[in-house]
Amino acid sequence: MSVPKIVIVGRPNVGKSTLFNWLAGRRLAITDNRPGVTRDRVSHLMDEEDRFFELVDTGGMGMQDEDNLTEQVEDQIDAAIEEADVVLFVVDTRAGLTPLDQEVAKRLRYVDKPIICVANKTDREALEPQADEFYKLGRGKLIRVSALANRNKDELMQMIMEKLPPPGDDAEEPSAPGMKVAVVGRRNVGKSTFINTLAQAERVIVSEIPGTTRDSVDVRFELDGKTFLAIDTPGLTRTKSIRTDIDFYSTHRAQRSIRRADVALLFLDAADRISKTDKQLCSYISEHYKPCIFVVNKWDLQYGKMPTEKWVRYLRDTFQTMWYTPIAFITGQTGKNVKALLNHAQMLYKQSLHRVQTAELNKVVHAAVERQEPPLRKNRRPKIFYGTQVAVQPPTVVLFCSEPSAFSPQYRRYLLGVLRQELDFGEVPIKLYLHERVRDEQGFAK
């Protein structure tokens, strides 16, 4: 039995995204006073009273999109309603009943699913009588809430729980995705097309208009019987080019997606040069120690014109500190090499989770020191006594030594290279700490 879906619909600016964040208990969807900010379906898995369901935010019904994407936005809304088990029809108590509310009600008239009319922005009890006019829409019992004032959340959740389809006899907790992949890159490099190829459906809007995707959109997909989560992120622009709140929040969402991902796929356009935005993204991925694959997309347009070796050299010269990062050449639109890319991403995920035995780690470290001793400092040679791995994701190694500051950056890079070469961390970032060995009053190492 699939996870039930609770879909939020309504005209623009009734507070759908604010309501979505309020029910989810976290800021997932971008909220802005400007109408038409939400375009794609944004979803979040909820767990209430031992029932799991998916909460889905949608764009404003009847909104004329500024980038002529109205038809695509409406298609996303229709697809969400088609998949819904319960529909939350959101209206605005302060604005009152509008002709566009009535148009939305007409569109829902033939939807054979439970519909709850949610009068949002009922910020105080004195406003509750104003919501009575929404009974004219004929959507049954009305509930008055305020996402901003935190009014009647429990009552709304209880109504949702009552409307959910009964759980099947074999209903189970949804399996957690095996790997979370953030698909990141600047605008118009083919991220959303790639996501739709994974989902085998028009899950997110695809357009040549820069900045089409504004929210981070989670999309579950299956590969070889395993469930994974792909995170479509807004295309980033240079920091100094961020002019609006939407650009700011889109950038924030993309960065948060990198932080919560297991593997980052940095998309690049095969026909374009590497930009400053690409370098900023790469730095952010590196700063957060995320396994990464450089994905050169739209390779079909360059096939026969440019050898892959030239692009590989170009990437290695540009991102010299990430020389260990694998490179993939794909065509997201047709799916060419996509499965191989995902298989490689799984390899990186496993490497990031690998834990090495202390004895094996120390054998490798001591051999590295024997091959190349640390340089002298003030006529003294610093010593490494032993090491241990203390964490995974990223693999984190602590080396206990006599004087951490005596080890030069060059020697630290040498040690990282040895660990990557000799252990199962070949293509993922490693955190390396040099820690001074402290002795207690009896002279024993602590």
153 CB-contact burial (10 Å; exposed 0-12 / middle 13-18 / buried 19+): middle
Structural domains in the chain, CATH included, are: 5-163 (3.40.50.300), 180-353 (3.40.50.300), 358-436 (3.30.300.20)
Are the beta carbons of 325 and 293 closer than 8 angstroms?
A: yes
Which of 168-172, 179-183, 217-221 is predicted least confidently?
168-172
| pLDDT per residue as tens digits for the range 344-377 | 999 999 999 999 999 999 999 999 999 999 988 8
206 has a pLDDT exceeding 50: no
Residue of 406 and 72 predicted with greater confidence: 406
Check residue 210 and give its pLDDT.
43
Report the pLDDT averaged over residues 339-347: 93
211 has a pLDDT exceeding 50: no
Indicate the angle between helix axes 245-260 and 276-287, nearest 10 degrees. 40
Check residue 254 and give its pLDDT.
74
Check residue 204 and give its pLDDT.
47
424 has a pLDDT exceeding 50: yes
Q: How confident is the model at residue 440 (pLDDT cuts 50, 70, 90)?
A: very low
425 has a pLDDT exceeding 90: yes
Residue of 343 and 44 predicted with greater confidence: 343
94 CB-contact burial (10 Å; exposed 0-12 / middle 13-18 / buried 19+): middle
Which of 56-70, 267-281, 395-409 is predicted least confidently?
56-70
Residue of 61 and 134 predicted with greater confidence: 134
129 has a pLDDT exceeding 70: yes
207 has a pLDDT exceeding 90: no
Are the beta carbons of 434 and 428 closer than 8 angstroms?
A: no
Report the pLDDT averaged over residues 427-436: 92
324 has a pLDDT exceeding 50: yes
215 has a pLDDT exceeding 80: no
Check residue 235 and give its pLDDT.
54
Check residue 169 and give its pLDDT.
53
Indicate the angle between helix axes 409-422 and 358-371, nearest 10 degrees. 130
Instruction: Tell me how many degrees the CA angle 297-298-303 measures, rounded to the nearest 5.
Output: 115
Distance CA 24, CA 18 (A): 10
242 has a pLDDT exceeding 50: no
385 has a pLDDT exceeding 90: yes
Q: Where is mean pLDDT largest: 56-60, 70-74, 200-204, 372-376? A: 372-376
Q: Where is mean pLDDT largest: 72-81, 239-248, 327-336? A: 327-336
Report the pLDDT averaged over residues 302-308: 84
Residue of 294 and 442 predicted with greater confidence: 294
433 has a pLDDT exceeding 80: yes
Cα separations (Å) of 323 from 101, 409, 426? 56, 17, 11
306 has a pLDDT exceeding 50: yes
Distance CA 78, CA 43 (A): 15
% of the chain beyond a pLDDT of 70 = 82
| pLDDT per residue as tens digits for the range 131-176 | 999 998 887 679 999 999 999 999 999 999 999 888 765 555 555 5
Check residue 118 and give its pLDDT.
94
What mean pLDDT value characterizes the chain? 83
The tokens describing 340, both together, are 């191989």
Which of 183-187, 198-202, 298-302, 415-419 is predicted least confidently?
198-202
Q: How confident is the model at residue 257 (pLDDT cuts 50, 70, 90)?
A: confident
